[in-house]
Amino acid sequence: MDKNFKEEKFTGFTKFTPPLYRQRYQFVKDLVGKYEPKKVADLGCADCTLLCMLKFCSCIEVLAGVDICGSVMKEKMHRLSPLPVDYLQPRERSLTVTLHHGSVAHKDPCMLGFDLVTCLELIEHLEESELKKFPEVVFGFMAPSRVVISTPNSEFNPLLPGVKLFRNPDHKFEWTQLQFQSWALETARCYGYSVEFTGVGHPPRGMENVGFCTQIGVFVKRNPQTSVSTQSEKPTEAVYKTVFKAVYPCLKDEKYLQNAVVGEVIFTAQIIKQSLLKRLMSEHGEYNGDPAERKSKFQPSVSCFSEDLGKLAVEKSMESSVSGNVVYIPLATIFSFPRVNQLCGTFEKLSKLVAGQVTLSNDGSAVMLNTEHEDR
């Protein structure tokens, strides 16, 4: 809920760099990078900052946020919408981002089947009754492969200036390391998870026994199969209210794939055409500039496609032909270019996608480009 702002209240005094809340986010991001989960949910997502960071992770296909406070979520939820560039360069994998208004004390079927569920600085905001239901909902019902739970370590509080009882007025409790660990171990045992403890925000030198400022438990399901049966046993009704949903454009969608392929095909064809015409011109002796003389100041790096593309284009231009004002570039030649190849996979797919979108020769085997356009 208020976890971001409350942190900012005292990051001014303590010397955590980067700020603690960022370290927590980074912790989750690193975890995502390591295990590449496809479906990730953030419980108590507040203003969606974590979700916003995670949407850049290409492995994720489903991203969900849940919070009890709808207005905080709505405040900035639009930053989870696709960016203009997401339309220009659609993702390879799909991505759906959904925000739900609801409580972690309630079960909703939309939360099933997740690979990773994060609860950063959430549990300390729960009333006692909610905290009681929490393990059953998250571990018993949602039963994701991994759960990350973070909460303040009360042993660290004396080191934080200005903190009297709790770090935030909305906190119902703040646990010592022992309190958190025993709760976590009990929960893990109960629902078939193993748990490892870590944290962010190192204590000052010489006070290591205080522990991390934020303590984190990472839960991993022991037997990934077990929960499937339990889920089907107890179908629940939807209780969460969906407040936001964004479906990202992706190349799995034929519409976007076609756009991308057609664009790439025409681009490739034009590059081939250029090198073909250049070659023809130099053969006719009309071309004055000597390409060999080009010294590379702007040295394209080795790993970059374009250098290869240039060479490839020169090679491949041999396969193309000019007739009158028209250059014919075989589709097969274009298909041999890595980017086109990668997008389409098969030649049949390529033919299917460009049909009707690109000017082709009568038998459909070559792309036709007009030389007229070039020099006018």
Stretch that binds other proteins, among 112-120, 162-170, 202-210, 320-328 (CB under 8 A): 162-170
Shortest distance in whole angstroms from residue 45 CB to other proteins: 14
Nearest-angstrom CA–CA distance, 110 and 125: 23
Q: Which is nearer to other proteins, 164 or 205 (CB)?
A: 164
Q: Among residues 128, 293, 348, 363, which is the contact residue for other proteins, using CB under 8 A? A: 293
x/- letters, 242..271, toward other proteins (CB under 8 A): -----------------xx-xx-xxx---x
Q: Which 166-195 residues touch other proteins, going by CB under 8 A?
A: 166, 169-171
- C-alpha distances (whole Å) from 87 to each of 32, 80, 175, 289, 339 are 24, 14, 46, 39, 18
φ, ψ at 143 (rounded to 5°): 45, 55
Helix (H/G/I), strand (E/B), else coil: 361 = coil
CB atoms within 10 A of CB 360: 17
Sign of CA dihedral 250, 253, 255, 258: positive
- Asked if residue 287 binds other proteins (CB under 8 A), the reply is no
Q: Which is nearer to other proteins, 168 or 177 (CB)?
A: 168
Q: Which 306-345 residues touch other proteins, going by CB under 8 A?
A: 306, 309-310
Please give the full DSSP string across 296-326, using - where no structure is assigned.
-SS---TT-HHHHHHHHHHHHGGG-EEETTE
Shortest distance in whole angstroms from residue 228 CB to other proteins: 31
Shortest distance in whole angstroms from residue 170 CB to other proteins: 4
| Contact assessment for residue 194 and residue 101, using Cβ atoms and an 8 Å cutoff | no
Sign of CA dihedral 103, 105, 108, 112: positive
Nearest-angstrom CA–CA distance, 80 and 78: 5
- Asked if residue 207 binds other proteins (CB under 8 A), the reply is no
Q: Which residues bind other proteins (CB under 8 A)?
A: 2, 4-6, 8-9, 11-12, 17-19, 22, 25-26, 49, 52-53, 56-58, 71-72, 75-76, 78-79, 81-85, 87-89, 165-166, 169-171, 259-260, 262-263, 265-267, 271, 274-275, 288-289, 293-301, 303-304, 306, 309-310, 357-358, 373, 375-376
